[in-house]
Each structure stands twice: as C-alpha cells, then as structure tokens.
C-alpha cells in the first residue's frame, strides 16, 4: 500500500515493484535485522496453531469421530479461522507495511486471543483480546488514511471496523450466527479494498469507483440490518455480495493477466474463481435469507464465502505475502494448481451434498476442502525450503 502512501505488499498481477524491505533473492535479504523476523515468527506460529486447530474443529463439525481435544472446540471453528488465523495474518501484513512497532499489537492480540480460546481458559478474556486486535486494526487504517486518503483504504478500514463490531458483539453475548455477517464483512471488504487499489492499473472510469462504493454500501447496510431485521438484512447483504462479485469480474486486473503464463496466470485463475464463489455466496444469501446457525443452507452461506472466496484469495496471494513478511521466496510451481482445484471440487461436492441432503457427500466435500488447505500449506512450505537451499544467482 505529494504525501507518500503507506507501503503495501506487492502483487505480480499489478506489475508493481518489489517491496523495499522484501527479499532480493531466494535466500532472503541478509541485511534485514534479525529482530524484525524474530518478532514475526512467533506470531506466524500462533496463526498456524489457530489454523490447524480451526481445521480440526471443522472436522468435528462435519461429524468425524476424532478426539475433541477440549470441550466445545467445534463451536470455535469460525472464530479461530477468521480472527485467530486470518486476523493475525492480516494484522501482521499491515504492521510490516506500516513499518512501525505499535501495529504489531494487532496480530499479537489476535494470536493471543486465539491461543487463549484453544487452551480453554475463560472465554471472555480470549474474546476481549480478539476485540483489541480489531480496535488496533481500525487505528492502523486511521493512520494509513492520514498518510494518504484513498477510497481503497476507506473500504479496508470498514473491514477492520467490522472485525471490531463482530468481536465486541460476541463478547457481549451475541450468538455466533449473529456475528457471522460481521466476520464476513471483515474479510470481504479487506479483500475488495485491496483489489480496488490494484484496479487502478487498468485505469477504470470514474463511474467504476462509484459502482463499487454503491455495492459496498448495499452490503454493509445489509450487515447492519441483520441485527434488527435478519431476513431482510441477509438478503440485502447478499445483493451487495453479488454486486461486488460482478464488479471484480468486470474491473479487476486479473481479467488481463489470466491471458499470460506462469505465476501471474495461476494467481489470476485463483482470483477469478474466488470472485465466482463470492457471487455464488451472494445468491445463496439472497435466496436463503437467514443465518440460523445450523443446517445445510447455513453451511452453504458460510463456506461459499469463507472457503470458496477467501481461501482462493489466500492461495493466490501467498507467493506475494510470504516473501514480504518472512523474506523467504515462494516461487511459483505448476503444482499449486492441484490444491486450488481440490479446494473448488471439494466445495462443489459439499454444496451439492447439502442441496440433496446427503450427509455423506456433504461430509466428503468438507474433508476435501480441509485436505486442499493442508496440502497447499505443505506444498508452500516445501517450495520455500527448496528455494532457500538453492544457491543464489551470481551477482
């Protein structure tokens, strides 16, 4: 990410330059002070704990006969993945980009809150720590917006505010089903704001910005109204999701880079497939119109966004985020298509199983989703280790 702009992680889809503090060769930048990396590794380790524990909780929710590890772990599936894992990751990215120490409060609070819940200590403390993380991310975007006022920072700042509102509502005793729209808004608006920033490479007309802001306003209005009029609010939010999906299909730079080859084409494929799932989620929200906390319809409403859209974005951006945060190269490999394809295939099976009320098919699809995520994580780790061991090019 006149007045200088706060730096943001680069995106090969935008053709931007590498980060000034990013790696210059596969082995990383030896000039980076080790203290910076030392601050990040424990946070990333805790984010990984939140991810793996959240996936285990997901298997419990799917009905697999596995050890529970701790009472009521299955109920923490969503918060661990959205706030524990992704909250820590997004907060860490922003702290790295802003290049100040205090923003590290965001990933630290999110990681600590997730660990607190995993261990089984009094839940309110863990929820409060997650709320502190949301408050810190709002403060980060206030600072970023002061550095350079922009609409994409406003959209991402609204996503941070959604994290804060959702976590405070959960702390105040709201059911997780009532908090879901705010968790969805946190991730959707964060991603849409980032893509809005990169869409400037295509020089879209001024009307395109107005269309996206209108779509964001519709979506946020729906999220807010879910508190007083749940049915109407969910359907209105669904319409906003469809509008944002259509905008991304039309104006995102991935439409151009899908015609290239290598890493840029892979990332574009992951992005475009994610935009399709965002549209599917909008249709399901619009048709179903309720978040009851259980059932196949509820499952489809959540996982079309959180698996189909969000994890497609993670798979797409990992080759950028890992080097920016860890100074460890993650070069593109054609094998990255395998977990991406498995993720989408599993989600199709999951939603079809739910539509036909086939518990076995639905459970199989959910297991394939988790296998795709773990498989991508293992493939990325192996690729990074292999790149680090490879000798740096001469000069």
**What tokens appear for 353 in the block?**
């199983």
Residue 241 domain flag: yes
Total domains in the chain come to: 1
Residue 353 domain flag: yes
Residue the block writes with tokens 């460890």: 328
What average pLDDT does range 227-236 have in this prediction? 95
pLDDT at 391: 53
Residue 40 domain flag: no
pLDDT at 47: 96
Residue 34 domain flag: no
**Rounded Cα–Cα distance for residues 58 and 366 (Å):** 8
Mean pLDDT rounded to a whole number for the chain: 89
Nearest 10 degrees: Cα torsion 82, 83, 89, 92 = 160
What average pLDDT does range 359-388 have in this prediction? 95
What average pLDDT does range 189-218 have in this prediction? 92
pLDDT at 37: 72
* pLDDT tens profile 10-63: 343 343 333 334 333 333 444 444 556 777 889 999 999 999 999 999 999 999
17-26, 152-161, 320-329, 344-353: which range is least confident on average?
A: 17-26
| Length of the chain (residues) | 395
Residue 117 domain flag: no
What domain range includes position 367? 210-388
**Rounded Cα–Cα distance for residues 337 and 341 (Å):** 6
Residue 304 domain flag: yes
**Rounded Cα–Cα distance for residues 370 and 307 (Å):** 9
* pLDDT tens profile 267-297: 999 999 999 999 999 999 999 988 898 999 9
Residue 372 domain flag: yes
**Rounded Cα–Cα distance for residues 103 and 88 (Å):** 11
pTM: 0.89
**Rounded Cα–Cα distance for residues 228 and 214 (Å):** 22
- The DSSP code for 361 is H
**Rounded Cα–Cα distance for residues 39 and 95 (Å):** 11
Q: How far, rounded to the nearest angstrom, does the alpha carbon of residue 290 sit from its chain's CA centroid?
A: 23
Q: Are 285 and 237 in contact (CB under 8 A)?
A: yes
Residue 286 domain flag: yes
């Amino acid at each position: 990410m006149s007045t200088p702009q706060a730096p943001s992680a680069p995106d090969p889809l935008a053709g931007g330059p590498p980060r000034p503090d990013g790696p210059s060769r596969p082995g990383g930048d030896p000039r980076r002070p080790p203290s910076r990396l030392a601050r990040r590794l424990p946070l990333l380790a805790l984010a990984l704990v939140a991810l793996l524990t959240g996936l285990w909780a997901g298997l419990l929710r799917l009905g697999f006969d596995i050890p529970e590890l701790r009472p009521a772990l299955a109920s923490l599936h969503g918060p661990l993945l959205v706030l524990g894992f992704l909250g820590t990751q997004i907060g860490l990215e922003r702290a790295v980009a802003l290049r100040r120490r205090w923003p590290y409060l965001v990933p630290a609070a999110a990681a600590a809150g997730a660990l607190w819940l995993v261990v089984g200590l009094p839940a309110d403390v863990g929820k409060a720590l997650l709320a502190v993380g949301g408050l810190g991310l709002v403060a980060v975007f206030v600072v970023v917006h002061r550095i350079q006022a922009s609409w994409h920072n406003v959209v991402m700042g609204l996503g941070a505010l959604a994290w804060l509102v959702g976590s405070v509502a959960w702390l105040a005793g709201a059911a997780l089903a009532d908090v879901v729209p705010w968790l969805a808004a946190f991730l959707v608006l964060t991603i849409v704001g980032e893509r809005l920033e990169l869409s400037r490479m295509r020089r879209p007309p001024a009307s395109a910005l107005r269309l996206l802001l209108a779509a964001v306003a519709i979506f946020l209005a729906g999220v807010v109204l879910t508190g007083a009029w749940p049915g109407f609010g969910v359907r209105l939010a669904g319409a906003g999701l469809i509008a944002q999906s259509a905008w991304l299909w039309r104006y995102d730079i991935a439409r151009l880079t899908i015609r290239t080859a290598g890493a840029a084409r892979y990332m574009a494929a992951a992005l475009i497939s994610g935009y399709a799932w965002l549209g599917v989620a909008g249709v399901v929200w619009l048709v179903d119109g309720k978040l009851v906390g259980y059932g196949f319809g509820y499952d489809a409403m959540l996982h079309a966004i959180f698996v189909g859209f969000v994890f497609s974005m993670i798979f797409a951006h990992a080759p950028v985020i890992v080097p920016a945060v860890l100074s460890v190269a993650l070069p593109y490999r054609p094998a990255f298509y395998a977990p991406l394809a498995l993720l989408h295939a599993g989600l199709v099976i999951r939603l079809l199983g739910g539509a036909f009320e086939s518990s076995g098919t639905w459970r199989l699809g959910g297991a394939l989703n988790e296998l795709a995520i773990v498989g991508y994580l293992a493939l990325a780790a192996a690729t990074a280790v292999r790149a680090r061991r490879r000798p740096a090019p001469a000069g």
